[in-house]
Structure 1
């Protein structure tokens, strides 16, 4: 009876955290060691390492004709990102290498390509995988193979002008059922930027105008779309990863979202550089109209890996960041705001006297205090717009009390706002 003398054959990556798998990006050096433990003296022909990285797509479509299958068609495609071979053990003269019993370690090291790689991914119809495969060749024995995967995450920095740009849009439709027209529904929405990272909260600013005779329900979704392409044919898989539901908007009414929050769950980054696999995200602001189709406004999102820098992008200039901020302000406020109206044209003489008397008296005991609990939940720009067109505050004439009124240097009137 012949016993295999190989007790242990394993690949160990050099990783700061032993319990977690290593993560790399383009240009990084992947290093580790191959551990070979022998129970006795053994002859080795060669020990070869092969590092590979592929994006692969595959699915099958079958067409049936009655009770039998008419034909079956396979769709597949592949893109290579890494193909590196390295010999860890092999005699130069072609002879066998004799290894004694015990533990043997063979270090390896190679650099990932400098050009942009694609993030590791596992989908329904395809995957993007990177791995290291080692083959042990011995005379008169089968080839021993081991394979271990590692993760590649291509960094996406959201601190760039393109991903810091605000996203906004408007969409409307007529709510109809057969020949009857119920009126028009419109939705306007905007978000402060295009790039986000998982775990962040997206404040949604939206306005829903319901001119129909029925109530509508506003909602917002974050959707993930996986696209697989092979031989000119495309397969897509969509999933909703986050949901936000608003209060119903009655007939002939309007509802505004002042930064309603929708949180991004732990999802993978966007994949936009691969030819056969794409992962894209979208924020959909929708309106459910009973009896008719849904109205949806889509705003593109990019899930990045480098979070927002406190002072803006580390790669963009200060002037570009400033221009982005100005563009966001222009979306909230008109470029040339009209001046406030004249005080005399807004407040009559009787109202001025009543306001002056009210300023010197206390509020009635039965009047409830103003509720300020939600003041921190609204953005600053909402208050700027709310108070833009209000008239100046009412002022009243108050005489200085005695004995200061007897002082000639202090004679006159004091106007208090």
Structure 2
């Protein structure tokens, strides 16, 4: 079976973890500080704050804004649930906008319309979904002009750029995840970047029990520190990331060339001026369930990211949300299918994937525009 994801743990990672274990410095030690420094440089951010997960990073980032209870935060319904849950954790109210059918993300046009229609929106969390930057520069300009904060959800976009600028360097804050299936991983872990150094300082305070120094607590904080083991893994993985992203892009080009002529699917679109890092290679297809079964029988893994909108989740339904005003996102939830694109794929693997997809006959032709 060709897996949909394949985390890499090499001898360097194993040696780095063994070094940490031997040192006895297991929590927030020098490896974490070193990882923060190199990741900040990689993202062109003035600082970086390591944390225990991407979800923790999002929660801290919203907390750092200091929004009044009940404030509204705009985001997308087509993402992993943590994108919206971080708003609920902070006694704020998620509001949602529909996404672009070709790029799957919030557009600057949608953000402008939402902010103009509802001045109670105090922050925006755009998602760089599947490894491609959204229109983050324009979104940040629109938000800044209205006094609205921007938190970039970069959980799937390590190394992605818009007009040469890395994601995580444009908004007030940006949050990355290092879950095992991401373009780089630390087992579990996250990182907060951004251009607002005052907010980054607040994030650092919040993740360590609100303590600017030991046993002095000035804020209600959390224990969301990154372990030294995760920091050591991150240093190794970040060094490999540029080559891994290059290989992901090359794999995506091969898949595009082998599939783009099929009328019953749409291959991923790379926005002009952007460098997509293909955390996921996502098709839009018809007859998805049968195609997945066909691929499984051919030894090709696949997955759906995401089969249900956030607003369709039972939690959000119980809070009164519906998906009636998000027709594009709802259609995408019925059509998207992720194929393997990770850097461990061989040339033979790629041809096996292409052949498996091409040998499928859908019950109906065409996909949504």
Is TM (by shorter chain) over 0.5? no
**Structure (1 or 2) with the larger CA radius of gyration:** 1
Q: By percentage of residues, which structure has more strand?
A: 1
Please tell me the TM-score bracket, short chain as reference: under 0.3
